[in-house]
Structure 1
Amino acid sequence: MADEIEYEYRTVRTVRGADGPVISKMQQDGWELVDRTQGMLRSSLDFRRPKTPPPWRLIGAVAAVLVVLAGVIATAAVLEDGDGGEQKNAPGTSTAVASGKPSAAPTPAPAPASASASTAAGSAATEVITPQNNPEFAALLKADSCGSANLDFATGYKGRTVAFDGSIVHMAPHGDRDTRYDLLLGPGDEGPRTAVGPAFKYEDVGVLDLKLTGEKVPAAVGPGDRFHFVAEVGRFNADQCLFFLEPVSTGTR
């Protein structure tokens, strides 16, 4: 009788409107969407996928590998017996090489780093990353919100500062507080219609946390508002396709 398929299950909660990229990413990893519950601001997505076969199903494959390995070992033993005993050093081979001992030549000490190199490294670490001075960041702003470029950039530049022109895609209260918000940001000027680039997220921030600057600083912000965002790179949540940032400053434009 055929074995019944056993499944593992996962529930992903995301901001409403970001369901599509999350579903696409999960399906690429082998998950099947079985249910979707949508609220006013958030969605709950239920997935399942077949569990990994139990180890006993692999016994046959392991046994076959062991048989092959036994044959290889036996063949190697026969070939070794046929070599006629101890192998003599080939002419021209040094004693050090034949005996397997390393030469006595000292390993040169590494050259000390110059003061100018240290200064250059420090300048690179404090430089604000923009699409104009960093090709990786320029490519990220045009990449899919669930693509590998998000994780690669978050890993390589965690804690660094980035700056870009963008807009607010979505805004929702954080928990039960009406003065704290979760903001979804996107590159460009399309606001809620943003379809290209990472889903940047400011989580649990107030208007003062945005550090608004410019000639006309608004008292409140909302979806569609356009700003010049300066932020610190945080983590990337691959399950939700969200790229977390921490606000440094927000310039009106």
Structure 2
Amino acid sequence: MGLALTTTDVKFETRTVHAIRGLESRTIAKLESEGWELVSQQPGRLRTELSFRRPKPKTRWLLWTAGGGGLAAVIAVVIVLGIIGERNTPPAKTPASEQSLASQTPSPSPSVEPSKGDSSQQPENQILTPENNAELAAVLALTDYCDPSIAAFAGAYNGRTISFPGNIQDLTPHGSATTRYDILIGAGDYSQTTGTGPAFQFRDENTTNDLHFIGSVPDTIGIGTNLEVTAQLKAYETNSCLFLLEPVSTTVR
């Protein structure tokens, strides 16, 4: 008579997500770090559908090799012993002196430390940078462009002007226009495999006039161009995770 362990066959769970065009690599890297395997991707005009899978956790079953009755008997004994143990265990008592002390001891008041990036401590006309605003520095370092802290940042600093090193991650015509574009902006230097920061977007902008270039400008710009971006925080779209910017000035790095 003995115990035997069996395991079920490996089965997969699946997941489908929609990534903003230009940010597929960031989404794939994030999910792969969680154990998901990319199965397929279907690009669309604005978004790419990504399908993933990963093995479901194996279910382990404990079987009583002498027959089902043996297992039932073991369970019954455990339940009976548990009931007896509960009945025989006296309830814990708190000494009267401790009860009196607890009733007389006031609860400590929680301390709140001011945020280094508190907008109330900075002039409204001050341009926010990663160097002078800790909250901006934090969101620019995020690897998840749908992180909830981005929406919180947008709510706190809506209408303010920010400046940061960025790059063009995607550039597509706006609708049927031929000279106006939707430009996806990431933080830091361009990389084909990694990226950080929110999914910033210049929407329906003309690359010749609307970006307000300063200094030397190449004949063409496109995916992979590194920029120094100064822009006004316009709106954050929670359904798409796009953070819209209004260009103030742009410098090619």
TM-score, structure 1 normalization: 0.55
**8 A contact 1:167–1:226 mirrored in 2:** yes
- Structure 1 residue 17, shift from structure 2 partner: 3.8
How many residue pairs were aligned? 159
1:150 aligns with 2:150: yes
For residue 179 of structure 1, what is the amino acid of its counterpart?
T
Mapping for residues 16-165 of structure 1, pairs under 5 Å:
16-18=21-23, 38-39=43-44, 42-43=47-48, 124-143=123-142, 144-165=144-165
What is the CA RMSD across the aligned residues, in angstroms? 3.1
For residue 237 of structure 1, what is the amino acid of its counterpart?
E
Q: Structure 1's 232 and 129: CA in aligned 2 closer, same or farther, altered over 3 A?
A: same
- Structure 1 residue 242, shift from structure 2 partner: 1.2
**8 A contact 1:169–1:193 mirrored in 2:** no
1:242 and 1:138 mapped to 2: Cα distance? 18
Helix, strand or coil: the match of 1:209? coil
2:214 and 2:248 mapped to 1: Cα distance? 11
Q: Which residue of 1 aligns with 2:210?
A: 209
Give the gaps of 5 or more residues in structure 2: 1-16, 29-39, 51-119
Helix, strand or coil: the match of 2:167? strand
Helix, strand or coil: the match of 1:137? helix
For residue 249 of structure 2, what is the amino acid of its counterpart?
S
Helix, strand or coil: the match of 1:149? helix
1:242 and 1:204 mapped to 2: Cα distance? 14
**8 A contact 1:21–1:241 mirrored in 2:** no
- Structure 1 residue 221, shift from structure 2 partner: 1.5
Helix, strand or coil: the match of 1:171? strand
Give the gaps of 5 or more residues in structure 1: 1-11, 24-34, 46-120
Higher share in strand: 2
- Structure 1 residue 209, shift from structure 2 partner: 0.3
Q: Which residue of 1 aligns with 2:166?
A: 166
Helix, strand or coil: the match of 1:139? helix
1:178 aligns with 2:182: no
Which is worse superposed, 231-240 or 174-183? Answer: 231-240
Q: Deviations over 1:2-56 (max 9, x none)?
A: xxxxxxxxxx986424458789xxxxxxxxxxx98533554469xxxxxxxxxxx
**8 A contact 1:192–1:223 mirrored in 2:** no
Q: Deviations over 1:132-167 (max 9, x none)?
A: 000000101012211112101111111100000111
**8 A contact 2:22–2:169 mirrored in 1:** no
Q: Structure 1's 174 and 13: CA in aligned 2 closer, same or farther, altered over 3 A?
A: farther
1:244 aligns with 2:249: no
Q: Structure 1's 194 and 212: CA in aligned 2 closer, same or farther, altered over 3 A?
A: farther
**8 A contact 2:127–2:163 mirrored in 1:** yes
Q: Structure 1's 39 and 176: CA in aligned 2 closer, same or farther, altered over 3 A?
A: same
**8 A contact 2:26–2:194 mirrored in 1:** no
Helix, strand or coil: the match of 2:196? coil
2:226 and 2:248 mapped to 1: Cα distance? 16
1:191 and 1:210 mapped to 2: Cα distance? 22
- Structure 1 residue 178, shift from structure 2 partner: 1.3
Q: Which residue of 2 aligns with 1:190?
A: 190
Q: Structure 1's 141 and 129: CA in aligned 2 closer, same or farther, altered over 3 A?
A: same
Q: Structure 1's 195 and 21: CA in aligned 2 closer, same or farther, altered over 3 A?
A: closer
For residue 151 of structure 2, what is the amino acid of its counterpart?
L
1:21 and 1:252 mapped to 2: Cα distance? 24
TM-score, structure 2 normalization: 0.55
1:234 and 1:21 mapped to 2: Cα distance? 24
Higher share in helix: 1
Q: Percent identity?
A: 40
